[in-house]
Chains A and B, each alone.
Chain A
Amino acid sequence: MKRFVYADNAATTKISPAVFDAMVPYLTEQYGNPSSIYSIGRDARKAIEIARQKVAAAIGAEPTEIYFTGCGTESDNWALKSTAELMGQKGKNQIITTNFEHHAVLHTCEHLKRQGFEIIYLPVDSEGYVTAEQVKNAITEKTAMVSVMYANNEIGTIQPISEIGQVCRDAGVLFHTDAVQAVGHVEIDVKAQNIDMLSLSGHKIHAPKGVGALFVRKGVRMVNFIDGGAQERNRRGGTENLASIVGLGVAMEMAAAGIAERMEKIRQKRDRLIDGILSAVPKTRLNGGRERRLAGNVNISFEAVEGEALLLRLDMMGICGSSGSACTSGSLDPSHVLMAIGLPHEIAHGSLRLSINEETTDADIDYILECVPRVIETLRAMSPIWNN
């Protein structure tokens, strides 16, 4: 029987009922402008500051270190461009990052390269990891900042952020991490981990789309991202996205609670999914290491099958997933992440990412395990490069 199984939580998530309920008043009766002096304006201001406290608490930061933004991409842009501008003035014109960052970081780096910055792309290994040693060896007196993602969005590998933070702190270099995929999945403590800047996004953790945040450690200088009003301590003008910020606060509070237990349950389902697919379908491989991996991430390549066709077939069966194939990346090259871990083009084209969460049931896993082998068999039967 056809079911609906949403297994693309790394793309976006459903707004949780608690988040939605918390937002509704700010979309209806409590619509005041947080900058206004009368009571519904003051109430809105209070709601934003409570949300800021919640976001801060979830990552071990101070409320004054949290800036609300429009999305994770904006947070990444702000962190990199601001730091580059200020450090560039001191003659530091080198940025260290990895070759498998999200485009929010990679394309911002390309922009900075055109402005004269030297970008060092640390290569990840075949399992999808960089080491603190690589970062340490790359740092020079010209280094303006280091930006390494907390967990990869496609293959879910979790980077040694604490170790990298230590290396950067010892060297006196600013450290930014794109934690969009990690927040709510791993325990984060920006102070203990020596993180100077951290980007996060609401819609990956059951808050609405269109809201994110940037953590900036106290003492780190910033250039205003949007000049205008006094919002976000003059750094990002524009009337606040009130209801969504309230939603982000609630979502962060929920995401940071009981991570270990929640992730263990998801991990068990994920492992059943990985093992089930790998054993049922020949000529497949798991992309990215299994040990330090997001609990809900599955990324598997199937030989002789193209990713978009696979996704469309799964969609016909009610299963939502994503792929790193060229046809789904919007370009003619397959995913840069899969290329970075050394996959040949033809294998990278046949990748499937499934990202499950706490709502994924055992019946959902059973259904995916029933459908994926059938779809692969169908597509391989019509593939001229499948020899069996």
Chain B
Amino acid sequence: MLYSDKVMDHFANPRNVGEIADADGVGEVGNAKCGDIMKMFLKIKDGKIEDVKFKTFGCGAAIATSSIATEMIKGKPIEEALKLTNKAVIEALDGLPPAKIHCSVLAEQAIKAAFADYYTKKGIDPEPFVGKIETDCHACDTH
């Protein structure tokens, strides 16, 4: 498995690891059977991502995609953070091996799941904002 220097950097020194006790939104995707679970914690203030933390059970790419995804949305307005795509995550990491693309999808979905929780807590239907959340990556189903 050939990882870029960026992936290795984020794996070796992951940013924003941890939990937020009074998070405004928490999302978890993936499952232990597949070997990947990502959990995202959001703190929102004045329409911006004031803080974001993650916890990930998974391979090097799973940890690196979670790490860089948190870095990409931290401090950003909600609207911008919601636009984060797995493609942008891949680009920011200077690429991922084909077998690891699903990790970037999980990172995008984990953030969206956290936003869904945020909207739901506020009594707002999250679907118009985050679309349908894939809590499983489904990579396992295609094989």
With a CB–CB cut-off of 8 A, which chain B residues contact A316?
12
Cβ-closest chain A residue relative to B11: A312
With a CB–CB cut-off of 8 A, which chain B residues contact A76?
none
Instruction: List A residues 308-348 near B (Cβ within 8 Å).
Output: 308-309, 312, 316, 325-328, 330-332, 334, 345-346
Binds B, one of A43-51, A206-214, A377-385: A377-385
Say whether A306 faces chain B, with CB atoms less than 8 Å apart. Answer: yes
With a CB–CB cut-off of 8 A, which chain B residues contact A307?
59
User: Bound complex: CA of A24 vs CA of B60, how far in Å?
Assistant: 40
Q: B57 to A325, Cβ gap below 8 A?
A: no
Q: B59 to A308, Cβ gap below 8 A?
A: yes
Contact A345/B17 with A305-B57, A382-B55 known, Cβ cut-off 8 Å: no
Number of interface residues of B (CB under 8 A): 31
CB distance from B129 to the nearest CB of A (A): 24
Interface SS of A by simple majority: loop
Q: B59 to A330, Cβ gap below 8 A?
A: no
Interface SS of B by simple majority: mixed
With a CB–CB cut-off of 8 A, which chain A residues contact B28?
384
Q: B57 to A385, Cβ gap below 8 A?
A: yes
Say whether A270 faces chain B, with CB atoms less than 8 Å apart. Answer: no
Instruction: List B residues 21-44 near A (Cβ within 8 Å).
Output: 28, 32-39
Number of interface residues of A (CB under 8 A): 25
CB distance from B8 to the nearest CB of A (A): 8
Contact A349/B35 with A330-B99, A382-B17, A384-B28 known, Cβ cut-off 8 Å: yes
CB distance from A248 to the nearest CB of B (A): 30
Cβ-closest chain A residue relative to B63: A309
Say whether B2 faces chain A, with CB atoms less than 8 Å apart. Answer: no
User: Bound complex: CA of A386 vs CA of B63, how far in Å?
Assistant: 15
Contact A306/B14 with A345-B32, A349-B35, A382-B56 known, Cβ cut-off 8 Å: no
Say whether A304 faces chain B, with CB atoms less than 8 Å apart. Answer: yes
User: Bound complex: CA of A266 vs CA of B57, how far in Å?
Assistant: 34
With a CB–CB cut-off of 8 A, which chain B residues contact A332?
34, 139-140, 143
Q: B1 to A384, Cβ gap below 8 A?
A: no
Say whether B58 faces chain A, with CB atoms less than 8 Å apart. Answer: yes
Contact of A327 among B12, B56, B59, B143 (CB under 8 A): B59
Q: A385 to B32, Cβ gap below 8 A?
A: yes
CB distance from A330 to the nearest CB of B (A): 7
Contact of B35 among A334, A381, A384 (CB under 8 A): A334
Which of B14, B35, B39, B60 has most A Cβ within 10 Å?
Answer: B35
User: Bound complex: CA of A153 vs CA of B6, how far in Å?
Assistant: 34
With a CB–CB cut-off of 8 A, which chain B residues contact A312?
8, 11, 60
User: Bound complex: CA of A381 vs CA of B59, how far in Å?
Assistant: 14
User: Bound complex: CA of A72 vs CA of B54, how far in Å?
Assistant: 44
User: Bound complex: CA of A325 vs CA of B60, how far in Å?
Assistant: 12
CB distance from B42 to the nearest CB of A (A): 15
Contact A309/B59 with A345-B33, A346-B33, A385-B32 known, Cβ cut-off 8 Å: yes
List 6 A-B residue pairs with CB atoms under 8 Å apart, sorted by A's residue number: A327-B59, A330-B99, A346-B35, A383-B57, A384-B38, A385-B37
Seen from chain A, the residues whose Cβ lies within 8 Å of a Cβ on chain B are 304-309, 312, 316, 325-328, 330-332, 334, 345-346, 349, 381-386
Seen from chain B, the residues whose Cβ lies within 8 Å of a Cβ on chain A are 1, 8, 11-12, 14, 17-18, 28, 32-39, 54-63, 99-100, 139-140, 143
